[in-house]
């Protein structure tokens, strides 16, 4: 079949590698395109990013030595607007990871109805091994190395794994200095997720978790025939997204029965009470991980995955739910807070076991939605209040969920395919309206 994902990728010279995260993600996107009968030229455009920037830059360490770092910015597609997407600091960052995450940004922005395209970046580094000064120098050198590849009208980074509001403030400051842009002009709009005092938006820090919880509020009770107050859940990854999801689920009275991060997995001593999700967030900020949280006991990875819950929330890295984890999971629904957490093999097992998956581009698009609000505020010199941010975010999340449900009915497919199809349909329409392609 000339338009099958395998044929498109083979024509582009990909060597089949089922473990490759980019091939996994792009195959899912192309499958949705194939189902929509998307023309071959659009499938080809989606199959590779428009541009892949790779930089090497030296950074002075505190002891006076220099280290060379590798960074990426991949710009997947900008038909809908400037490239948009986070910057990751992690030792496992590779070109294929960043490419996969950039495609997901194109899909996410389209599904969320934003006038933004998709990009993603990262630096191969373990930020925990650097002092704050080293982290600042690394961020400034990376931003300088990216040069004109980023800009408020062109490509707008944001936080992701291993980066935060402080890193965004350093990026914005470096960009402003290099470009002679003023703080109150469009300079600060070069990145989002900044500290509120320096052009950030209220509500951005919690936005991704908030979006996840809005989706859960709207879709989960019907799927499991239970109110959120009686819902049990577990989470892997208790960083920004995982901990905000936990804190907001706590407000509904949902019970957190297991959490895992790099420091280990824990369960409550008193199952009837569950873990205190709010206190756990503070504890992780203070200690760096969930291990030894008061009122909890350590459990094995297997015990974590087999804990019986209504909902499982992956909020760590890609490809964490493979065949083994999918076989162990003892839940009814998965809300993907992380990007691409489920492998295709894992997904098959979940489908066989009747576990529904709420896909990442729907669940976690709240982060980029509030980033869009921040970008607009910066450009219009406005400051929104939290009620407005939350109300507008809720509208975007509801509209994105409605598009996914409609596409699922129309195409009679799973939620992930439906989400990609809804996103692609909008991208294809804009290509057609602009007269670029039929
Ligand atoms: N921040 C945002 O606005 C958005 C983030 N996302 C996605 O959400 C996910 C989480 O991002 P974010 O919360 O920002 O990142 P953080 O860096 O704040 O948190 C990541 C969490 O994942 C944990 N983790 C990492 N590797 C593993 C592992 N192998 N096993 C168990 N736990 C692990 C980390 O634990 P430890 O600290 O112990 O390493 C940490 O708790 C990512 O997929 C990201 O791309 C998506 C949309 C927006
Ligand atoms: O807020 C943004 O611009 C991007 C967030 C992001 O990287 C993501 O959604 O994966």
Q: What is the mean pLDDT of residues 57-78?
A: 98
Domain 49-192: CATH class, spelled out: alpha beta
Please choose, from the candidates 157, 188, 158, the residue with its C-alpha nearest in 3D space to the C-alpha of residue 173: 188
Would the pLDDT of 146 be above 90? yes
E strands, 61-154, in order: 66-77, 83-90, 118-124
Q: What is the mean pLDDT of residues 174-189?
A: 78
The answer to which of 77-81, 160-164, 432-436 has the lowest mean pLDDT is 432-436
What's phi and psi for 353, nearest 5 deg? -90, 5
* Three-state secondary-structure class, residue 55: strand
Say what the pLDDT of residue 187 is.
84
| End-to-end Cα separation, the chain, in angstroms | 21
Q: What is the mean pLDDT of residues 98-125?
A: 98
Q: Vertex 269, ends 265 and 271: CA angle to 5°?
A: 95
Work out which ligand 1 atom sits closest to the CA atom of 90.
17
Please choose, from the candidates 378, 373, 366, 393, the residue with its C-alpha nearest in 3D space to the C-alpha of residue 152: 378
Say what the pLDDT of residue 181 is.
65
Cα 368 to Cα 381: distance, rounded to the nearest angstrom: 19
* Three-state secondary-structure class, residue 162: coil
- Mean pLDDT over each residue of the chain, to the nearest integer: 96
Q: Which two tokens stand for residue 298?
A: 């350590």
Say what the pLDDT of residue 438 is.
64
Say what the pLDDT of residue 436 is.
79
DSSP 270-297: STTT-B-HHHHHHHHHHHSSSTT-TTEE
Say what the pLDDT of residue 220 is.
98
| Catalytic member of 50, 67, 99, 120 | 120
Q: Which residues contact 235 (CB under 8 A, 6 or more apart)?
A: 242, 245, 246, 256, 258, 259, 260, 312, 313, 314, 315
Would the pLDDT of 184 be above 60? no
Say what the pLDDT of residue 40 is.
93
Residue listed under structure tokens 């990609």: 420
330-365 pLDDT, tens digit per residue, is: 999 999 999 999 999 999 999 999 999 999 999 999
Q: Which residues carry a binding-site annotation for NAD(+)?
A: 208, 240
Residue listed under structure tokens 């109110």: 227
Q: What is the mean pLDDT of residues 376-394?
A: 97
Residue listed under structure tokens 């950074």: 59
E strands, 249-382, in order: 255-261, 264-268, 296-299, 311-314, 333-335, 356-358
Tell which one of 86, 168, 212 to mutate to probe ligand 2, the residue whose CB is within 8 A of the most ligand atoms.
Answer: 86
Cα 79 to Cα 71: distance, rounded to the nearest angstrom: 25
Cα 147 to Cα 260: distance, rounded to the nearest angstrom: 38
Count Cα atoms within 13 angstroms, Cβ side, for 87. Answer: 33
Would the pLDDT of 116 be above 60? yes
Tell me how far the alpha carbon of residue 267 lies from the centroid of ligand 2, in angstroms. Answer: 30
Q: Which two tokens stand for residue 434?
A: 């602009």
Cα 333 to Cα 226: distance, rounded to the nearest angstrom: 12
Catalytic residue status for 395: no
> Sorting pLDDT into bands at 50, 70 and 90, what band is 180?
confident
Q: What is the mean pLDDT of residues 314-337?
A: 98
Would the pLDDT of 48 be above 80? yes
What is the CA 40 to chain-centroid distance, rounded? 28
* pTM (2 d.p.): 0.97
The CATH architecture of the domain made up of 206-363 is 3-Layer(aba) Sandwich (3.40)
Would the pLDDT of 162 be above 90? yes
Query: What percentage of the chain's residues is helix, strand, coil (to nearest 5)?
Result: 50, 20, 30
Tell which one of 90, 262, 293 to mutate to probe ligand 1, the residue whose CB is within 8 A of the most ligand atoms.
Answer: 262
- Structure ipTM: 0.97
Tell me how far the alpha carbon of residue 158 lies from the centroid of ligand 2, in angstroms. Answer: 6
Would the pLDDT of 18 be above 90? no
DSSP class of residue 16 equals P
Strand partners, 314: 236
Tell me how far the alpha carbon of residue 374 lies from the centroid of ligand 2, in angstroms. Answer: 12
Would the pLDDT of 183 be above 70? no
Annotated domain spans of the chain: 49-192, 206-363
> Sorting pLDDT into bands at 50, 70 and 90, what band is 280?
very high
Would the pLDDT of 182 be above 60? no
Cα 51 to Cα 74: distance, rounded to the nearest angstrom: 6
State the pairing for strand pair 264-268/296-299. Answer: antiparallel
CB atoms within 10 A of CB 197: 8
Residue listed under structure tokens 């089922």: 18
Say what the pLDDT of residue 248 is.
98
Residue listed under structure tokens 């936990």: 246
Question: Which helix (H) or strand (E) covers residue 171, if one does?
Answer: helix 165-179
Work out which ligand 1 atom sits closest to the CA atom of 241.
13
- Note whether 49-192 and 206-363 share their fold: yes
Asked if 150 and 84 count as a contact pair (C-beta separation under 8 A), the reply is: no
Q: Assess whether the C-beta atom of 337 lies below 6 angstroms from ligand 1.
A: yes
Asked if 404 and 422 count as a contact pair (C-beta separation under 8 A), the reply is: yes
207-222 pLDDT, tens digit per residue, is: 999 999 999 999 999 9
Would the pLDDT of 185 be above 60? no
Q: What is the mean pLDDT of residues 26-36?
A: 97
Would the pLDDT of 257 be above 70? yes
Q: What is the mean pLDDT of residues 99-115?
A: 98
């Amino acid at each position: 079949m000339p338009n099958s994902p395998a044929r498109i990728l083979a024509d582009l010279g990909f060597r089949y590698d089922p473990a490759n995260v980019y091939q996994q993600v792009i195959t899912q996107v192309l499958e949705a395109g194939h189902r929509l009968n998307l023309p071959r030229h659009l499938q080809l455009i989606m199959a590779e990013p428009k541009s892949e920037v790779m930089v090497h830059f030296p950074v002075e360490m505190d002891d006076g030595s220099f280290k060379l770092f590798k960074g990426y910015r991949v710009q997947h597609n900008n038909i809908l607007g400037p490239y948009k997407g986070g910057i990751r600091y992690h030792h496992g960052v590779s070109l294929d990871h960043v490419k996969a995450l950039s495609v997901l940004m194109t899909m996410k922005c389209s599904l969320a109805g934003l006038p933004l395209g998709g990009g993603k970046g990262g630096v191969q580094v373990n930020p925990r091994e650097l002092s704050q000064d080293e982290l600042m120098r690394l961020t400034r050198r990376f931003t300088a190395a990216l040069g004109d590849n980023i800009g408020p009208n062109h490509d707008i980074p944001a936080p992701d794994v291993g980066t935060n509001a402080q890193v965004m403030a350093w990026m914005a400051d470096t960009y402003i200095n290099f470009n002679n842009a003023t703080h109150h002009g469009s300079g600060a709009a070069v990145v989002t997720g900044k500290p509120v005092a320096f052009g950030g938006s209220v509500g951005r820090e919690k936005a991704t978790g908030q979006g996840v919880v809005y989706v859960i509020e709207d879709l989960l009770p019907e799927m499991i025939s239970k109110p959120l107050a009686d819902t049990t859940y577990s989470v892997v990854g208790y960083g920004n997204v995982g901990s905000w999801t936990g804190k907001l689920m706590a407000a509904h009275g949902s019970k957190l029965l297991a959490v895992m991060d790099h420091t280990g997995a824990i369960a409550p001593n008193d199952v009837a009470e569950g873990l205190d999700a709010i206190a756990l967030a503070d504890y992780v900020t203070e200690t760096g991980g969930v291990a030894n949280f008061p009122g909890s006991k350590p459990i094995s990875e297997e015990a974590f995955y087999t804990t019986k819950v209504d909902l499982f929330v992956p909020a760590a890295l890609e490809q964490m739910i493979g065949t083994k984890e999918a076989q162990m999971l003892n839940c009814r629904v998965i809300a993907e807070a992380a990007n691409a957490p489920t492998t295709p093999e894992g997904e098959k097992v979940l489908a066989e076991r009747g576990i529904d998956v709420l896909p990442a581009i729907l669940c976690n698009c709240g982060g980029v939605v509030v980033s869009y609000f921040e970008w607009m505020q910066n450009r219009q010199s406005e400051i929104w209040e939290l009620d407005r941010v939350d109300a507008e975010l809720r509208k975007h999340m509801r509209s994105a969920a409605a598009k996914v449900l409609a596409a699922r009915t129309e195409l009679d497919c799973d939620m992930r395919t439906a989400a990609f199809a809804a996103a692609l349909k909008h991208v294809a329409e804009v290509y057609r309206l602009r007269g670029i392609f039929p």
